[in-house]
Amino acid sequence: MDAVFIFGICIVILGFLCWAWVQGIDNMMRDFPDYKGEDLFDEEPPKKKEKSEWEQDGHHTKQNI
């Protein structure tokens, strides 16, 4: 009987934590709709990769093979 009581308490605590988490996500989406999380780990947006000479050349394409 004690195991059922402890299991019930765990379910209630877990339910409260899940509810609080969902409320936090909902509040964040409502208050900051354009936030993408890119600054979460202090990262810069990805830079465009420059093409190498081989790629710029264009002579290696399948059309020319």
Mean pLDDT of 52-61: 64
Mean pLDDT taken over the chain = 82
If one compares 53 and 35, the residue with the highest pLDDT of the two is 35
pLDDT of 64 over the 60 cut? no
- The pTM of the full predicted model, rounded to 2 decimals, is 0.53
Asked whether residue 24 is assigned to any structural domain, the reply reads yes
> What is the domain range of residue 22?
1-30
**Number of domains the chain is built from:** 1
Residue 37 banded pLDDT, cuts 50, 70, 90: confident
- pLDDT score at 60: 60
Asked whether residue 15 is assigned to any structural domain, the reply reads yes
Other beta carbons within 10 angstroms of residue 6's beta carbon come to: 10
Asked whether residue 4 is assigned to any structural domain, the reply reads yes
Sort residue 42 into left (φ over 0), alpha (ψ -120 to 50) or beta: left
Asked whether residue 14 is assigned to any structural domain, the reply reads yes
Residue 56 banded pLDDT, cuts 50, 70, 90: low
Asked whether residue 26 is assigned to any structural domain, the reply reads yes
Asked whether residue 57 is assigned to any structural domain, the reply reads no
Asked whether residue 63 is assigned to any structural domain, the reply reads no
Asked whether residue 40 is assigned to any structural domain, the reply reads no
